[in-house]
Structure 1
Amino acid sequence: MTRRTTTVWAAGAALCLLGIAGCTMASTDEDTSSADDSSSEQQESGAPDLASIPEVVAEIDGEAISREDFLQAYSSQYAQASLQAQQTGVPVDESALQREVAENLVTVELLER
């Protein structure tokens, strides 16, 4: 019962952090200018650029956060960001979103421990 309570608390805390990070995350000109033509084409088609995602996204005390775990979290965040991009006209900053999702996965893992 304690493990479940801790996991639920950690998930809630991670969602709060995700909300805060989403509100305070701002793109810089450097991040925006680093996007290449292929990623612009993929954004227009609605597909995220996943070519640069490694098999192991992060490692915490010898335990890996896999590409599959990352992609599961990233796909839902990308879909939400794409909807927001359509409404605002501002393209999705995929590199910032990928960094944010990876940081959140690490945070959740650390909170669970």
Structure 2
Amino acid sequence: MIKKWFLGLSLGTSLLVLSACGGADESAENENAQPETQEQAPSGEENAAQPEMPEPDLEDIPEVVAQVNGEEVSKEEFETAYTGQFQQAAMQAQMSGQEIDQTLLKNQLAESMVGQKLLIQEAENQKLTASDEEVDQTLEQLAQQNGLETTDEFLKALDEQGMKEEQVRSQVATQVKVDQLIAESAGDTTPSNEEVEAAYEQIKEQQEQMGSEEELPAFEELKPELEEQVKTQKENEATQTLVAELREKADVTINL
């Protein structure tokens, strides 16, 4: 699993845009596939049912959002990342009917960006390297995750958004190094049978609590997905622990 949170901010935002474009295309196809006999609601009713998308609040963002061991998180970096995060949060808020707490969202993003800087700095301190083969493999995975068949298509899509191949490869190389750092910190994340079974039981309990009548697939059928889920959870926990350890020793200032 590629942790998009750790990808360079420009690339991370571009990936969000690619995903959004894919979703929009899918919606358009679904609309075109609707039967012609279906009654169309008047435009006024449609507008009433669809609340306006809120706008990200970018006022009062300082020129230097944070400093991490002397390295700055600039206003431009933060605003680019926040706009992408806000778009995701706004779509979720529309579906749930909840309002977005932009102050909380900004603080969470600032903390995430500090963690990102700390991990990248540590990977550099340990002189970790990323081979061309590892970068190519990661690019291929990213292309598939964004619904594209080849790396060339993926690079072309990012180029159209203003990201040159050299810049993309540089950020992906950084990602590979951070993944190495996390893997070393996490150690063996292979889930035991007991952990996978516990994950299955948790899903079963959640389904019962929700009153779902849908039959849960058999354990053996879900086992590969559950193994990946438990493995990812272990990696995420190791990442949080590592960031906390690095943060304790770091010189960090957040100016929000």
- Scaled by the length of structure 2, what TM-score is found? 0.28
Q: Which residue of 2 aligns with 1:98?
A: 106
For 1:32-71, what per-residue CA distance to the aligned partner results, in whole angstroms no more than 9, with x for missing partners?
A: xxxxxxxxxxxx6621111121110000122110011101
| Aligned ranges 1:50-89 → 2 under 5 Å | 50-89=58-97
Q: Which runs of 4+ in 1 moved over 2 A?
A: 11-15
Q: Which runs of 5+ in 2 are unaligned?
A: 7-51, 122-256
Q: Give the AA of the match of 1:85.
A: A
CA distance 1:13–1:79, shift in 2 (3 Å): closer
Contact residue 57 and residue 102 of structure 2 kept, 8 A: yes
CA distance in 1, matches of 2:102, 2:85: 10
Residue type of the partner of 2:106?
Q
Q: Quick one: distance in 1 between partners of 2:100 and 2:116?
A: 24
Percent identity of the aligned residues?
41
Alpha-carbon spacing, 1:97–1:105, altered in 2? closer, same or farther (3 Å): same
User: Once the 2 structures are TM-superposed, how far is the Cα of residue 12 of structure 1 from its aligned partner?
Assistant: 3.0
Compared with structure 1, are the counterparts of its residues 87 and 45 closer, same or farther at alpha carbon in structure 2 (3 Å cutoff)? closer
Whether the 8 Å contact between 2:65 and 2:75 is mirrored in structure 1 is yes
Q: Could you tell me how far 1:14 is from its partner in structure 2?
A: 4.5
Q: How far, CA to CA, are the matches of 2:83 and 2:75 in structure 1?
A: 12
Counterparts of 1:13 and 1:68 in 2: how far apart (Å)?
A: 19
Equivalent-residue separation in structure 2 for 1:46 and 1:14 (angstroms): 23
Structure 1 length normalisation: TM-score?
A: 0.60
SS at match of 2:60: coil
Q: Aligned pairs, how many? A: 75
Letter in structure 1 aligned against 2:68: I
Any stretches of 5+ residues in structure 1 without a counterpart? 1-10, 16-43
Could you tell me how far apart the structure 1 residues matched to 2:5 and 2:89 are? 18
Higher relative contact order structure (alpha carbons within 8 Å, sequence separation ≥ 6): 1
